[in-house]
Amino acid sequence: MSEPTPAPDAVDPADASYWQRQNLEDLLRDSEPLREDESFEIPDLADDEWDRFVRAIHE
């Protein structure tokens, strides 16, 4: 766990940015859809768990 800082200005902004709200458009700006030769697999999920996951991300 991080140690407390002696003064608020002693916090490194790069470390603190993790805790700030991120703009989703900024986060996804460089992302692209999967190509036909790519797949997104989570091998340990049962079929019904995978179906629930897919439904959740499409909501």
Q: Where are the domains of the chain?
A: 13-58
Q: What band does 9 get if pLDDT is binned at 50, 70 and 90?
A: low
The answer, as to whether pTM is greater than 0.85, is: no
Retrieve residue 20's tokens: 């700030």
DSSP annotation of 33: P
- Please give the share of the chain, as a percent, with pLDDT higher than 90: 10
Residue 37: pLDDT over 70: yes
Instruction: Note the helical H segments in 1-59.
Output: 13-16, 24-28, 47-57
Kindly report the average pLDDT of the chain as a whole number.
Answer: 81
pLDDT at 24: 85
Amino acid letter, 47? D
pLDDT at 53: 87
